[in-house]
Structure 1
Amino acid sequence: EWWSRKLKKRINCVDDSEVQILNGGHNDKTYKIGKSPRNLMVSTVGDELRLATGFGSKVFGVSYKDRAAMLPAGKLANAAYWFDTKTGGFISSTYYMKKLPEWVEKFNQQKFPDRYFGKKWEKLLPDSAYKLSRKDNFPYEMNFKGIGITFPHIITGNSRHPDEEFYKAFTHVPFADKHLLEFAKSLIKNENLGTDSFTDILTISFSATDRIGHLFGPYSVEMQDQIARLDRILAGFFKFLDKTIGTNQYLIILTADHGDAPIPEYMRTLNFTAGRIDVEAVPRGEDSRIIHTTVEAYLDSTIAVGDWVEAFVKPNLYLNYYTIKNHNIKRQKVEQLAKKALLKIPGISSVFTRTELLNGQFSPNSIGKRILNQFYPERSGDLVVHYKPYFITAGYKHSASKGADHETGYDYDTHIPLIFWGPGVKVGNYHQSVILNDLAPTLSSILKIAFPSGNQGHVLYEALLN
């Protein structure tokens, strides 16, 4: 998300007022805005493949999250589908089609999530297998929609029957990944992927790991159980591909978009300095109260009373240019004063101003480089905030002190797997540092197509046979 100075509101990366949600004939007035990949500013591997094959190749994206379904697939995808907590089924957008395909509606009619209403999420493995995890009863884990913080977790959403609250709870348990995979298998069959001379792409983003990480943290029994279950889900998927597409006829790439910070209160029990920037619950629609009010108060006292901050959309703080102009003060001076105020907040390690980032006036260490990489002048704020190790902004889902997050450039937030498996890939393990951006040019090289327009990565030649 980012803040729109023109519209004076937060912008979700896939919001699009020019399209509508397709949910199979249910009441679409409950959706505030349509969704599409229109805001994406560069092409994807899928886009380049479609262009290179005269649109003979098919590209689809699926996920429990809208952005995770649409953005990896690109602007030219045949379709993207994501889970809808209002209906308990998969939905899409008029960006791709006029109505949902018949096979999608039939799949949704099975009401897969409803089978788990009132069921228990229990440990998959014997208790002795979870010795790598911390004790299964940590008070700073989050009890989301009645799921609880210890096994077994009962899935009702605090409702008497399957409804939106139940579906929201369902997105935070491992069975959501199983549902997603069944949908992906149905898509492969009904859209005839892998059945002609053109290479097709299907992007699948399993979202349960992220949400379980938010609730219970990376060292929890729940996270270990989730990974064990996901491993088995993937094994079943590969067997399905062997049977449906054919052994050695498909390429798998497995990766992630981020890691996960430990729950701060857990790190405190291990004698680490850790915490949350906001120690009280943050109102909905805001990411922090402390960051916003600290800057406002400091600028009020050093310049004059005024509305100095438009918004904080983590990690970006947006200054009010109208107020700055009215007080006839240089923006760079206000940036520095705001930076000084922010650095006094316990838990904040560094602050980067817009002027510093645009002019290269910052320490070129790994954190500084990562901040620069995510800075885009047209959408980013005037100050970018980075925290000390094991600090996060606030509690998950606007709670006061529950759950974990992923907000920094430290290894626990950025260390992810990158696995290539299939035709054209050399067997081996590689331990040197690479970046997620290397995926796109490496896959493009395998497919013998142009790199995406925004490519910043390198081909991992050492992992390729030819």
Structure 2
Amino acid sequence: MLVNFMLKGKITLLKTGIYFTFVLMCRKSHFLMKHRTILYLLALLVSLINSPNAAAQAHPDKPALVVGIVVDGLRNDWIERYWNLFGEGGIKKIVRQGTGYTDASVPFLLADIGSSHASISTGTPPALHGIVAETWYNRLRKEETWCTRDYLAKTIGSSDASRTPANGNGRHSARQLLASTIGDRIILASDYKSKVISISIRPEAAVLLCGHIPGSAYWFDNTFGSWITSSEYANSIPSWVAGFNLRNSSEHYLSREWDLLLAGNLYTGCPPDDNDLETGYYNQFKTFPYKLARIRKESLSQDFEVLSLVPYGNTLTTDFAITAIHEESLGKDAYPDLLWVSYTAIDEVTRRFGPDSREVADALLRLDMDIQRLIYQVEESVGKEKALFILTSTHGAAMDPDYSAALNLPGGFFRYRNAMALLNSYLSAVHGDGKWVESYLNLQLYLNETLIEQKKISFSAIQDEAARFLTHFEGIARAIPADRLLSGEITSPWDGMVQNSFNPDRTGDLLLILQPGWIEEKNSDSDSRSPYPYDTKIPLYWYGWTIPKQTISRPVTLLDIAPTIAHIMTITPPDAATGRNLSDLFK
């Protein structure tokens, strides 16, 4: 690398100069007698400079620790919008001192916590890694499939040992992920000596970032308020995890209330706190301050779920990540380590209050404080020049359609239940009574294959028929038949994004794209999954190690993250990776 070459050149010149000075001084015998101390120090300096580790200590060839910070649902424009409210050591530090990509995006549809985390770790889109969404419809089982659910896995680490076998919160693995991850490649390349740890409140994020080869994936058990893993990753939790759980930090945070950090007038551009447009928590808690114990009492489960829906969930995640850094001695040996930290509370707040709310703004300020704390602990423990940070997001967020309407902007709620009922009635009128629509999930429609075969109807023909009908429904921009995706006939403005999203075994028979500003009607104030910039534009920043201070405006995607880490580590990228190495980072 250029930095190392320049450093070595300077060292060579310095060594040469010291050597000649030393020789000239030695020619004078009386100097040897009078200045033994000086000669000793010069000789010591030469030996230090001659050490093979001298250059490496300044800028190691590889970072000792890579810290990937993934914020679920972080819109790119929020960083500029709330810039003046951020502290100096968190997001601002990463942006000011690192490399930022101003045109980073998600290159596929249906971006959510499942599809995007899998794409970040594998460097390939859902079409290849198979995680088309957080959930999809399983035709064989006739049921909704959770992307990481594994009924063969067992919960490891529940705080209630007597109830652990019955606790299904740990039944997760990467079994349904069809590609390897960057974590898998790092472990293999180091002969299992590097450590790969992923941490998130949500199991999907932790599992899909970690991968297949047992690293360490930890997520939060909403039932018992502890950090757990599954038998796919460990037979027992480390003592430090058990010790952390014994602190009862989750109970501590649930005893707090969430109020605004700053004076209300500083949250500019946000609608009033008390308004009728927000869904809030459980359709009743909509204004500051939020007393978490009371919200927990009113929830159906009355467990620790509330903690995952508020900023304190991010804070608890940071506490656990910092403990992992110290207890696992990350970045302390010759084998590079990888730590993924996925913050998911921002997306939960956005869905309940909308992206323009004071709740989201305050949650972002608190997230900035958590990131600042994480950066400080890593740099104190490992060193800035040995640590590499990555900050990115899974997707953006759509404006609350009710708020859009109040501003006279287009948008609305797609009433998918009505649409499916009308489609079923239409197909029944044309082809005879029956349940033609077998399932609908996440803008995907699954037709009844058995009924269609019984009626001896062309599957492609009925897909086209259903698509033509649905495109006339309010809120739908495109209804794309799966058979046309298989044959490559799609000519929409988003053909590449659609193809990247399509997996023939898991994607529905019709894939829907809504009109700009429209979201599904799901008791939510926001959503992602569209091809529009408010959903696809994401932040992407690299900071630390040898990363230069610069801003890059060329288009990049989140698929480029894993191949770039592989390049930095000089290892093979994940097997299905289609992303590119971000060569700008090394100029």
Question: Would you say same fold, with TM above 0.5?
Answer: yes
Give, in angstroms, the shift of residue 162 of structure 1: 11
Map 1:329-340 onto structure 2 (within 5 A): 329-340=457-468
Mapped pair 1:27 → 2:27: no
CA shift for structure 1 position 159: 4.5
Question: In the alignment, which residue of structure 2 is the partner of 1:47?
Answer: 184
Preserved CA contact (<8 Å) 1:147 1:156:
no
1:214/1:405 contact within 8 Å kept: yes
Match of 1:413 among 526, 530, 535: 535
- 1:6-27 CA-to-partner distances (Å, cap 9, x unmatched) read 1111111101121111224151
Q: Does structure 2 conserve the Cα–Cα contact (< 8 Å) formed by 1:291 and 1:312?
A: no
* Structure 1 residue 405: Cα displacement: 1.4
In the other structure, the counterpart of 1:392 is 519
2:289 to 119, 130, 152: 152
Query: Residue 259 of structure 1 contacts residue 406 of structure 1 at CA under 8 Å; is this kept in 2?
Result: yes
1:256–1:417 contact (8 Å) kept in structure 2: yes
For 1:429 and 1:384, the matched residues in 2 are separated by 36
Checking the alignment, whether the CA contact within 8 Å between 2:563 and 2:577 is kept in structure 1 is: yes
- C-alpha spacing 1:93/1:291, structure 2 compared with 1 (3 Å): farther
Corresponding residue for residue 510 of structure 2: 383
Question: Is 1:373 the equivalent of 2:471?
Answer: no
Query: Paired residue for 1:123?
Result: 260
SS in structure 2 of the partner of residue 463 of structure 1: helix
Give 2:346's match in structure 1, choosing from 209, 213, 217: 209
Name the SS for the 1:361 alignment partner: coil
Q: Per-residue CA shift, 1:375-409, capped at 9, x if unaligned?
A: 000111110011001111113xxx3xx42211211
Quick one: which of 440, 453, 456 aligns to 1:325?
Answer: 453
State the one-letter code of the partner of 2:360.
M
Q: Quote the Cα distance in structure 1 between the aligned partners of 2:169 and 2:143.
A: 14
Cα distance, 1:140 vs structure 2? 2.6
* 1:56 alignment counterpart: 193
Task: Between 14-23 and 64-73, report the one with greater CA deviation.
Answer: 14-23
Instruction: Specify the SS of the correspondent of 1:454.
Output: coil
Q: Look up the match of 1:426.
A: 548
How far apart are 1:233 and its partner, in Å?
Answer: 1.1
- Residue type at the aligned position of 2:484: E
User: Structure 1 CA distance, aligned partners of 2:257 and 2:330?
Assistant: 35
Do residues 290 (structure 1) and 418 (structure 2) align?
yes
| 8 A Cα contact 1:2 1:10, kept in partner | yes
Aligned residues: 450
Write out per-residue CA displacement over residues 265-290 of structure 1, whole angstroms, 9 at most, x where no aligned residue: 00011112211112xxxxxxxxx422
Seen in structure 2, the aligned counterparts of structure 1 residues 163 and 98 have a Cα distance that, compared at 3 Å, is farther
Match of 2:375 among 235, 238, 247: 238
Unaligned runs of 5+ in 2: 1-134
The match for 1:282 is none
The Cα shift of 1:30 comes to: 3.9
Q: 2:559 aligned with 1:437, yes or no?
A: yes
Aligned with 2:223 (options 44, 61, 86):
86
Spell out, residue by residue over 1:419-455, the C-alpha distance to the aligned partner (whole angstroms, 9 max, x if none). Answer: 1112232220112221110111111111111111111
- State the Cα distance separating 1:464 from its structure 2 match: 2.1
In structure 2, what is the Cα distance between the partners aligned to 1:201 and 1:363? Answer: 40
Contact in 1 for aligned 2:170/2:230 (Cα 8 Å): no
Residue by residue, what CA displacement relative to the aligned partner does 1:155-179 show, whole Å, maximum 9, x if unpaired?
1254559995252222111111110
Aligned residue among 351, 355, 358 for 2:486: 358
Matches within 5 A, 1:266-277: 266-277=403-414
Higher RCO (C-alpha 8 Å, min separation 6) = 2
Q: Distance in 1 between matches of 2:477 and 2:298?
A: 47
Q: Is the 8 A contact 2:279 2:286 kept in 1?
A: yes
8 Å contact kept, 2:413–2:518: yes
The answer as to whether partners of 2:173 and 2:230 remain within 8 angstroms in 1 is yes
| Residue ranges of structure 1 left out of the alignment (5+ in a row) | 279-287
Matched residue SS, 1:177? helix
- 8 Å CA contact 2:225–2:304 kept in 1: the answer is yes
1:349 aligns with 2:494: no
Partner of 1:171, secondary structure, is helix
Q: What SS class does the counterpart of residue 217 from structure 2 fall into?
A: strand
- Check the 8 A contact 1:19/1:94 in 2, yes or no: yes
Choose 120-129 or 177-186, whichever is displaced more: 120-129
Counterpart-to-counterpart distance in 2, 1:349 and 1:321? 25
How far did 1:32 drift? 7.7
Please give the residue correspondences for 1:80-229 in structure 2 after superposition, counting only pairs within 5 Å.
80-145=217-282, 148-156=285-293, 158-159=295-296, 164-229=301-366
Q: Distance in 2 between matches of 1:417 and 1:424?
A: 20
Q: TM-score, normalised by structure 2?
A: 0.74
1:73 Cα deviation from its structure 2 partner: 1.4
**SS of residue in 1 equivalent to 2:387:** coil
Shift in CA distance, 411/162, structure 1 to aligned 2, threshold 3 Å: closer
Kindly state the Cα deviation for residue 127 of structure 1 after the two structures are TM-superposed. 2.1
- Residues 458 and 146 (structure 1 numbering): CA distance in 2 closer, same or farther, change over 3 Å? same
Corresponding position of 1:283: none
Q: Is the 8 A contact 1:146 1:158 kept in 2?
A: no
| 1:157–1:373 distance in 2 versus 1, CA, 3 Å | farther
C-alpha contact (below 8 Å) 2:318/2:374 kept by paired residues:
yes
Q: CA deviation at 1:341?
A: 2.1
The alignment partner of 2:386 has SS state of coil
Taking the aligned partners of 2:400 and 2:162, their CA distance within structure 1 comes to: 39
How many angstroms apart in 2 are the aligned matches of 1:375 and 1:306? 27
Q: Percent same amino acid at aligned positions?
A: 29
RMSD: 1.9
Q: Is the CA contact 2:170–2:228 (under 8 Å) kept in the aligned structure 1?
A: no
Give the AA of the match of 2:517. Y
Q: Is the 8 A contact 1:147 1:154 kept in 2?
A: no
Name the CA shift for 1:81/1:198 in 2 (closer, same or farther; >3 Å): same
Opposite residue 531 of structure 2, the aligned amino acid is G
Distance 2:419 2:569 in 1: 46
Q: Which moved more, 1:9-18 or 1:138-147?
A: 138-147
Q: Distance in 2 between matches of 1:344 and 1:290?
A: 13
Match of 2:580 among 444, 458, 461: 458
Q: Does 1:11 align with 2:148?
A: no
Residues 303-322 of structure 1: pairs in structure 2 closer than 5 A = 303-322=431-450
